[in-house]
Chain A
Amino acid sequence: MRKFVVTVALLTGLVQAQAAISFMHDVAPVLLQRCEGCHGSKKSKGDYRIHTFEFLSEAVTPGKPHESYLYTMLVDDDPDSRMPQKDDSLAPSDIELVRQWIAEGAKFDGSYPKMPLRSQLPPREHPQSPELYRVPVPVTALAFSPDGKSLAVGGHHEVTVWGAESGKLIRRLKNLPLRIQTLKWHAGGGRLIVGGGSPGEYGELAVVDALSGERLRVYDTFEDIVLGMALNQEGDRLTASSADRRVRAYDLASGKRCWESSVHSDWVTSVAFSTDNRFVVTTSRDQTAKVLDAETGELFTTYNGHRRQFGEFTGRFKVFASVFEPISGSVLTAGEGKAIRVWNPVKAKEESGTASDMEKRFSKAGHTRYIEHGLGLGVFAMCASKNLVYTAGADGVAKAFNFEDGKVLHEFKGHLDWIYSIDCSPKTSRLATGSYSGEIRLWDTDTGEVVNSFIAAPGHVVKQAILNN
């Protein structure tokens, strides 16, 4: 049986043997998908790992597939030993790829043999989005264009662009990852920076032309979906954060990666640049917010206000959103729990201290200010404009808070499901909220009234603005 398989594989291999096999293109994706679960950074059965090239090559003898465990284990006769264990074997064509690659010298055509392979994979070709959506998708990302006239919304393998007043679908920018988690307009509205990916599989950060949808550059591939993204004030630096716990910064023009930081111990849910461009604040599911140096990515301080405080707002909370208040330089972070925390990165470092001065520190009240938001299960997204902060909440309500006194200016009710995304357009005095049900609502930020609501899914009936109570 084995001989039969091998022969067939050889034959097909011969037919395909024109181009040399690219490890990163042809071999790595298969191995990462089928083998990494048991032979990766989390689990290393038989003490063998394949998540970096260095580790992977421990089972490879270049030029000699029959002396390489990587190949021989794939075709082992004994069903209990054959890899992957307790699963279907690799497709014959894939096995042949592995054999051929080893035979051709087992060359590595990635950039970093010691770094995780997953984040060096070449940019993917994404499948086509369906013409019409059978069901709406949750709105996990939305962004107003700089002139406030269009609204870009994350869709299924695409970004859809809608008229902010009309609620009509204007354009579809395809060939994008499965899910979009964060969107930013750039170059006066000519470009869109898109962060997303497939949860648990990969994350992608790319820039596309806002009109043609052409994917101009893929900045990077992450090991898990990209969750947060921010641009600095000048618009020449980009940072992105991912569920793979990493934060990376890029030079926008050249695409070069400036730095990478791995200081969080869980998903990094959002990033924000400080107004003076000195810091990057990151929030995480590990219940902290961290302040990094914007230039170098070095850790400046950790803010523990979401997990270590006493009194009314005590508890341990995952943090989902961050936004800098434009005037004062304070940063607002929010997530689970009852209140938004307002704090200053420099003061937070001063208050960090050591164990020896703990007593003294605890005797002073910290400088953190709390804005109680009263939104059920927590806040998933925030945006800021002038002196107002807008929050998107799990109970379907968005609120506008006056930053100075924490008073609620407007309550935006009407969504029937969780609100995952929020954005504001100061130019047109508009606020947009997107929910789990796929509904987008547009609000007047001056009056607090709803202006329009529609389902952001191609093929679904556009609802006219209904002015409910």
Chain B
Amino acid sequence: MRQLLALLITLFCSTVMASKLERIEVFPTELNLASKRSKAQLVITGWLENGEARDLTRLAKIVIADKKVADLNRSIVIPIGDGETDILIRVGEHSVKLPVRVSRQSATDPIRFTTETLATLTKQGCNAGSCHGSPHGKAGFSLSLFGFDAAHDELSLIRGGLNRRVNVLAPDESLMLKKPLLKVPHVGGKKLVQNDSAYHLLRQWIFEGARGVIKNEPKFVKIVVYPKQERVLRAPHLHQQLSVQAYFDNDTVRDVTDLATYQTSKRQVATVESNGLVLGRERGSAAIMVRYLESLESVYFTVVPESEGFAWLPPQENNGIDRLVNDRLKLLQIEPALTCSDSVFLRRVHLDLTGLLPPTVLVRAFLSNDSCNKRTKLINDLLNSREFARFQALQMADLLRITPEVLTDGRAAFFAKWIEEAIHTNQPFDKITRQILTASGDSKEVAPANYYASLNKTENTVESTVQIFMGARIQCAKCHNHPFENWTQDDYYRIGAVFNRINRDKGMILMNDSGEMTHPRTGKVMDPWGGKADSADPRLKFAEWLTAADNPWFARVMVNRIWSRLMGRGIVEPVDDFRSSNPPSNVPLLNELANSFATNGFNCKQVYREICNSQVYQRTTQATEFNAEDNENFSHARVRLLTAEQLQDAIGYVTGSVQPAGEMFRVKAELESKERERTVKIDTNQSTWEESQTKRLSKLDFHLGGQWSLGFYKAKDQKEAHEKAFIEETAFNMDLAKQDWQLQPDWEQSRKVNFPENEIGARYIYQTITSRVNAKVKFHFVADDGVRAWHNGRLFYDQIQILEDPKTQYAETELSSGLNYILFKVNNKGGAFHLTVSIVEFDGKALESASNSTLPGHITGILAKPVQKRSTDQQNALRNYHQSLDDELVELRHELALDVRLQYATQRPWHEQTDFLKAFGQPKRTSPCACERSSEPTLEQALQLLNGRQVYDKLTDSNKQYASLTDHTLVEALYLAAFSRYPSDLETGKAREYIEHSENRDDAIRDLVWALINTQEFMFQH
């Protein structure tokens, strides 16, 4: 064995010499073993000339000067007797000395429940969430998850369960040993090995009296793991020993390397033994998580095994992004792919930025353009387009869960439009975020307040906000300290305190005065995150903290999302799951992007610009032997299925069932000019029309003006309501502008009007009648309850309560020719409240209906006034009414209002959820998680494309788009539309042959279209 070791050392030294060992280092740099059972795991590191580190722990020669003070167990130092000595460590011609001090070896060192027993139970998996750490434990025995509640565990283990789990007199008879050793049947399996250190510790703890938490024992503060930074494990040195030290609040340090629990984030890349030895396996990177009591730290390892035949050929680098990606690829020995073709780039960048396929006219232009910066220019054009803003707004709307079902009354559209504008004008993202998070007021008026309107509880406000803006999944910390992250339950409720005072009554977002957040377990009142408990709006401080340039979460998660949208995978994946146990695949890249974002005013478009201009973004999807297995380092582009909306729009475009994208600009301009023309035309007729209408009206016996209402006036009883003059009732020709008269355009003669009030009081209604001659007119009244009526200020009808008796229901008055002013007052003695007035006789002749002018009352009212007496508002009202009579103009305006582009799903902010869209993963918007948009392939998708309803409908008219073209041009147009490239001769030939040999040309065209949209080249980005 010793010869083997020597051989290894020589071999190693020679290989190390080849890469030139510069110096060696030992951790820790001094040892203080102050109790009987203390020990220290040494980690010896060799630093090479090129800056890389190698773990030499098992290969160094370690010699202790005085063996009466301390001794070695492999690379672990154990104390023997009080005193001081040195340890000499030697590798080749390098050496380093380590002073050791040993004390208190004669004092007892009992095993501590909180820091040793519970840590061991965690390490052996006893208190995991799927075992006894689950909320109700298992088989009646429950422990706290990962030992976070020592008092609970003490109860469960020692005195609880009728004291059946520990036996101090005969420790081996303790059920808590017999079960995991499988000496007694244990459904959880074998969790302890006889004579392992874990077994010895637990047994010893029981033997020493199974003591629980000790009052005033030193409290655990944190762990320090060595090595701290990322390490590269390069073949053949694919191993690294870890050292874990625990710090306590009495300034003592204890080595807990064998007590810590180790886990790997990726088994295939690296594994870790129970003594903290990391072993690298396959190429890639993994995080090794070290857990001890409440602390969780991660160390990142990059494993680089042998790769024969690999040569680094640096490709063209466009910018800093390329450099950072390539640095990593070089380290991992992965080959970067070449740049993609123009047509692939064109289609890709169009889809990624705007969600739409490039229009054929643009494809032709781009492919024939020779200039060297055409890609950059295209990127700039797309970033400035409305389509970009809308498509990105759609994706933001997914996260913010904007749905018309929850945000009713047009608030969804309002909020979505606000976001679209913000993106289009490239508002700094921190500003947008702050506006959203600190919004207050009526959600119908303050668009960003709708964020809170769709999150109805404090809990989901906390979880959504943290997931969207910090990329962390804090849900677990609601009930206990987060098992995989350093989020504690306290943190959760402190963030809760920020949002707990929000009042969402009736769509108004306001801050209540009270509404403290109390911790559900301890009952403590929590200070809001970022501020103090007494501040008026804790959201302000929180938003300030979140959007600060040095906040570690905010910039990172946003640039990660942008990266993911463009590259198909985030640098951290899933995009909103940032945790130390889920490391970024390229730390310097993420740091650089985030830093740049934060220090340059959170300019989102700039991030898009930089990424799209990089060679990394423009790589082909063609993989080679040296990068085919790379999934996370961006060595080549990813083949990606188009998203649901993109696919629906693409099919729409190719089948011609939706307006072509590029021609949108032209269409809108056309519409606008048409509308202008038409309006002008109508307006030139305005005065002629007005005259003719007035003339027509004058021929009528009489016609009525609009009805205006005023009210509600409360009264103490019906008498008062009926008799009291709340306004000057005898004054006629009311100045309608003075009081609060409301025009009621939908009220008419002979039609019942229901008033909203049901208390005791009265309302007024005012009306003009223009009569051609002096004539008597008879009114019929039906009301609940009574009415008074004045004609030109003279009371002509007074019925405090209208009864069934017809005598009470009629009244007459003499109209003078010209304008007459009628005032009604309806009283209410309580309950229902309505009025119906009809003119039943005019000049002695019975009338069937009184409204005979065919114009709305308020228009005739205006027309009745002489031209010079009409106010500007009244003139505009006449103009608008006249315009509204023209069908063509109305249609044009309607189309403009709709904004034709909105036929595209990628340009609409909310989720239509058709069968097609659902099948392709359109999110339902019930969760802030980016994972709600599914990208998994399903059978349903295949069926939808082959013969789904939506696809079928779109195909039906697809021939119309192409029927007028010649066969050759047709095929070319199809390929340009669908794939953004010209068809090859073979493809053209085959297609033409098919058309020529089919009976019905239209059917053949449809078949072709159907075939093309079912190809992989169409459905995928490639």
A interface residue numbers (CB < 8 A to B)? 32-34, 36-38, 40, 42-43, 84, 86-87, 130, 133-138, 140, 156, 178-179, 181, 198-201, 225, 227, 243, 266-267, 269, 285, 320, 380, 394, 418, 420, 436
Contacts of B178 in A (CB 8 A): 200-201
The 8 A-B pairs at the shortest CB distance, nearest first, are namely A37-B185, A199-B164, A36-B185, A200-B184, A200-B175, A199-B175, A37-B186, A135-B168
Contacts of A200 in B (CB 8 A): 164, 175, 178-179, 184-185
| Least distance between A341 CB and chain B CB atoms (Å) | 20
Once the chains bind, are A33 and B169 in contact (CB under 8 Å)?
Answer: no
A136–B163 CA distance with the chains assembled, in angstroms: 14
Once the chains bind, are A140 and B184 in contact (CB under 8 Å)?
Answer: no
Q: Is B812 an interface residue (CB 8 A)?
A: no
Once the chains bind, are A266 and B163 in contact (CB under 8 Å)?
Answer: no
Once the chains bind, are B185 and A40 in contact (CB under 8 Å)?
Answer: yes
A134–B209 CA distance with the chains assembled, in angstroms: 11
Once the chains bind, are B140 and A37 in contact (CB under 8 Å)?
Answer: no
Once the chains bind, are B173 and A178 in contact (CB under 8 Å)?
Answer: yes
Contacts of B165 in A (CB 8 A): 199
In B309-323, the 8 Å CB interface with A consists of: none
| Least distance between B402 CB and chain A CB atoms (Å) | 44
Once the chains bind, are B182 and A37 in contact (CB under 8 Å)?
Answer: yes
A138–B209 CA distance with the chains assembled, in angstroms: 12
Q: Which of B164, B169, B179 contacts A137 (CB 8 A)?
A: B169
Sample of 19 A–B contacts (CB below 8 Å): A32-B185, A33-B183, A33-B184, A33-B185, A34-B182, A37-B185, A37-B187, A40-B185, A43-B187, A87-B182, A134-B169, A137-B169, A140-B163, A156-B169, A200-B184, A227-B162, A320-B162, A380-B162, A436-B163
A181–B161 CA distance with the chains assembled, in angstroms: 13
Once the chains bind, are A135 and B185 in contact (CB under 8 Å)?
Answer: no
Contacts of A320 in B (CB 8 A): 162
Q: Is B190 an interface residue (CB 8 A)?
A: yes
Once the chains bind, are A140 and B159 in contact (CB under 8 Å)?
Answer: no
Q: Which of B163, B170, B179, B190 contacts A87 (CB 8 A)?
A: B190
Contacts of A134 in B (CB 8 A): 169
Once the chains bind, are A137 and B162 in contact (CB under 8 Å)?
Answer: no
Contact A137 to B168, CB < 8 A, known contacts A199-B175, A200-B175, A436-B159: yes
Contact A201 to B182, CB < 8 A, known contacts A86-B190, A135-B209: no
Most buried by A among B165, B173, B179, B185: B185
In B443-461, the 8 Å CB interface with A consists of: none
| Least distance between A40 CB and chain B CB atoms (Å) | 6
Contacts of A199 in B (CB 8 A): 164-165, 175
B interface residue numbers (CB < 8 A to A)? 140, 159, 162-165, 167-170, 173, 175, 178-179, 182-187, 189-190, 209
Contact A420 to B184, CB < 8 A, known contacts A87-B190, A137-B168, A285-B140: no
| Least distance between B180 CB and chain A CB atoms (Å) | 11
A133–B140 CA distance with the chains assembled, in angstroms: 31
Once the chains bind, are B169 and A418 in contact (CB under 8 Å)?
Answer: no
A267–B161 CA distance with the chains assembled, in angstroms: 10
A36–B183 CA distance with the chains assembled, in angstroms: 10
| Least distance between B188 CB and chain A CB atoms (Å) | 9
Contacts of B185 in A (CB 8 A): 32-33, 36-38, 40, 42, 200
Contacts of A84 in B (CB 8 A): 182
| Least distance between A51 CB and chain B CB atoms (Å) | 9
A373–B570 CA distance with the chains assembled, in angstroms: 61
A140–B178 CA distance with the chains assembled, in angstroms: 21
Closest Cβ neighbor of B183 among chain A residues: A33
Contacts of B168 in A (CB 8 A): 135, 137
Contacts of B175 in A (CB 8 A): 199-200
Contacts of B162 in A (CB 8 A): 140, 181, 227, 269, 320, 380, 420
Please name 7 further chain A to chain B contacts, defined as beta carbons within 8 Å, in addition to the given A156-B169, A200-B185, A285-B140, sorted by A numbering: A43-B187, A140-B163, A178-B167, A178-B173, A200-B164, A200-B179, A243-B164
Contact A133 to B169, CB < 8 A, known contacts A86-B189, A285-B140, A436-B159: yes
Once the chains bind, are B187 and A201 in contact (CB under 8 Å)?
Answer: no
Closest Cβ neighbor of B164 among chain A residues: A199
| Least distance between A102 CB and chain B CB atoms (Å) | 23
Contacts of B173 in A (CB 8 A): 178, 198
| Least distance between B727 CB and chain A CB atoms (Å) | 60
Closest Cβ neighbor of A86 among chain B residues: B190
A138–B165 CA distance with the chains assembled, in angstroms: 12
| Least distance between A339 CB and chain B CB atoms (Å) | 21
Contacts of B209 in A (CB 8 A): 135
Once the chains bind, are A225 and B164 in contact (CB under 8 Å)?
Answer: yes
Closest Cβ neighbor of A43 among chain B residues: B187
Contacts of A201 in B (CB 8 A): 178, 184
Contacts of A198 in B (CB 8 A): 173
A242–B183 CA distance with the chains assembled, in angstroms: 21
| Least distance between B504 CB and chain A CB atoms (Å) | 33
| Least distance between A229 CB and chain B CB atoms (Å) | 15
| Least distance between A202 CB and chain B CB atoms (Å) | 10
Contacts of B183 in A (CB 8 A): 33
Once the chains bind, are B179 and A266 in contact (CB under 8 Å)?
Answer: no
A380–B160 CA distance with the chains assembled, in angstroms: 11
Contacts of A269 in B (CB 8 A): 162
| Least distance between B43 CB and chain A CB atoms (Å) | 32
Contacts of A130 in B (CB 8 A): 169
Contacts of B163 in A (CB 8 A): 138, 140, 420, 436
Once the chains bind, are A418 and B182 in contact (CB under 8 Å)?
Answer: no
Contacts of A42 in B (CB 8 A): 185, 187
| Least distance between B398 CB and chain A CB atoms (Å) | 43
Contacts of B159 in A (CB 8 A): 394, 418, 436
A194–B894 CA distance with the chains assembled, in angstroms: 94
A40–B184 CA distance with the chains assembled, in angstroms: 12
A420–B164 CA distance with the chains assembled, in angstroms: 12
Contacts of A136 in B (CB 8 A): 169
A135–B167 CA distance with the chains assembled, in angstroms: 10
A33–B173 CA distance with the chains assembled, in angstroms: 14
Closest Cβ neighbor of A178 among chain B residues: B173
Closest Cβ neighbor of A394 among chain B residues: B159
Contacts of A37 in B (CB 8 A): 182, 184-187, 189
A133–B169 CA distance with the chains assembled, in angstroms: 7
Most buried by A among B163, B178, B190, B209: B163
Contacts of A86 in B (CB 8 A): 189-190
A291–B175 CA distance with the chains assembled, in angstroms: 31
Contacts of A285 in B (CB 8 A): 140
A201–B165 CA distance with the chains assembled, in angstroms: 12
| Least distance between A334 CB and chain B CB atoms (Å) | 15
Most buried by A among B164, B189, B209: B164
| Least distance between B869 CB and chain A CB atoms (Å) | 76
| Least distance between B554 CB and chain A CB atoms (Å) | 45
Contacts of A418 in B (CB 8 A): 159
| Least distance between B207 CB and chain A CB atoms (Å) | 9
Once the chains bind, are B140 and A266 in contact (CB under 8 Å)?
Answer: yes
Contacts of A225 in B (CB 8 A): 164
A199–B183 CA distance with the chains assembled, in angstroms: 12
A42–B187 CA distance with the chains assembled, in angstroms: 7
Most buried by B among A40, A135, A181, A225: A135
| Least distance between A85 CB and chain B CB atoms (Å) | 9
Contacts of A133 in B (CB 8 A): 169
| Least distance between B185 CB and chain A CB atoms (Å) | 3
Contacts of B169 in A (CB 8 A): 130, 133-137, 156
Contacts of A179 in B (CB 8 A): 164, 167
| Least distance between B347 CB and chain A CB atoms (Å) | 51
| Least distance between B259 CB and chain A CB atoms (Å) | 23
A42–B189 CA distance with the chains assembled, in angstroms: 12
Contacts of A138 in B (CB 8 A): 163
A26–B175 CA distance with the chains assembled, in angstroms: 24
A37–B139 CA distance with the chains assembled, in angstroms: 13
Contacts of A394 in B (CB 8 A): 159
Closest Cβ neighbor of B179 among chain A residues: A200
| Least distance between B177 CB and chain A CB atoms (Å) | 11
